[in-house]
Structure 1
């Protein structure tokens, strides 16, 4: 009885993967159950509803400030492009570079690689 039932590594890997995924699925069920049973969930909903008017007013003010900042950014970028020597160019839109710092680091590495090649 001290001997293993099988020595086939593929079968052992499949059994191990099945056990791991079964445990992960069980944990996900536990997390879902906790979300359903959560007694603090009602308190969170009650706290957010009375402040909705304040949040709406703050959003309107923030939108106006963001529009002013956006206009200033367009002016600054247009001036920078003109100073660099592209007088006939015009800034049409500015997009934020959303993403993680890892993707930004990868972009910078690609730019540096291209600059070193030329």
Structure 2
């Protein structure tokens, strides 16, 4: 019958941990080899030589959002504040325009006709 080499649990734990870390190191090596041999990786382009000290361009002023006709300044300010509260900056607003949703408008009209006064 076969006799175990040791009954000490610390020696068994050490042997098992060495095996686990050897396997992990081998997997890491395979991953690094795959990254080196990856044919789909884009090649690094050589940087173009920089032109000799171009004149600094003036910084463009942030564009104000496009305001459709009929909206007051207060309405635009309220919409901008609401969008800013949601986590966006005022510079990210590109346009403010009414959404065409005739179904909502018609629903309001029919509800108004159904209510008795």
Give the structure-2-normalised TM-score: 0.38
Flag the structure with higher helix content. Answer: 1
- Report which structure shows greater RCO (CA 8 Å, sep ≥6): 2
